[in-house]
Amino acid sequence: MSNLKVAVQKSGRLSEDSLKLFKECGIKFNNGAKKLKAQSSNFPIEFLFLRDDDIPGYVEDGIADIGIVGQNVQDEYQKEVDVVKHLGFSKCRLSLAVPREVDYSGIQYFEGKNLATSYPTILKNYLKDQGVNAEVHMISGSVEIAPGIGLAEGICDIVSSGSTLLSNGLKEVETVMKSEAVMVAYKQMSDDKKALLDQLIFRINSVLEGKN
């Protein structure tokens, strides 16, 4: 029988909880450091370790059958995949923030302003829904320093505890979206693989129910 190929983040905030979930499902494997692949010894699953940004694309193309990514990454890249399960970990939000001293009165504050973000698609859609015209500048890292160096008047970034915003003299003013890890799946999976995915989801549901 062919293996279900699962794309998980190689190293980052999703990695540990993603692998823990498979282990809690009773799936055994060895993932040595720096390995690109791992094969389970007791379930027809093969893991591919990738950057999270690449996961939706690999699943869209069927190179991986399923993958685990943040909903934020899935929404930003808008790849053609099925979101088959919300996994309840890596919870965070994508928020707009401005310098602490700003007298923020509401979303119209951003009209005509410059905003820095790593999530330009999500932010542009949000601003459009809100009827606000602003300039969105894509930067790929350290978004929180943009206001301090005069690059933007506000930012849109991932927030979890809020301490990064605080230590950069920023305050959160709007929640653009809430996010958590999700399982995405290839749209044209074979019946064999769909059956494996059903078995896996059955196990995941038992694990998640046990946590509630």
The C-alpha atoms of residue 98 and residue 82 are separated, in whole angstroms, by: 35
Of 47-55, 161-169, 173-181, 188-196, the window that binds Zn ion (rule: CB under 5 A) is 47-55
> Applying CB under 6 A, which of residues 4, 6, 7, 9 lies at the interface with ligand PRT?
9
Q: φ and ψ at 181, to 5 degrees? A: -70, 140
> Applying CB under 6 A, which of residues 45, 159, 185, 197 lies at the interface with ligand PRT?
159
Does residue 64 belong to the site contacting ligand PRT (CB under 6 A)?
Answer: no
Of 19-27, 108-116, 127-135, 152-160, the window that binds ligand PRT (rule: CB under 6 A) is 152-160
3-class DSSP state of 51: coil
Instruction: Please give the span between the terminal C-alpha atoms of the chain, in angstroms, as a whole number.
Output: 34
The C-alpha atoms of residue 201 and residue 185 are separated, in whole angstroms, by: 12
Kindly report the three-state secondary structure assignment for every residue of 78-110.
CCCCEEEEECCCCCEEEEEEEECCCCCCCHHHH
Q: In the stretch 96-135, what mask flags binding to ligand PRT with x, by CB under 6 A?
A: ----------------------------------------
- Taking the least distance from each CB to ligand PRT, the nearer of 105 and 140 is 140
- Taking the least distance from each CB to ligand PRT, the nearer of 70 and 147 is 70
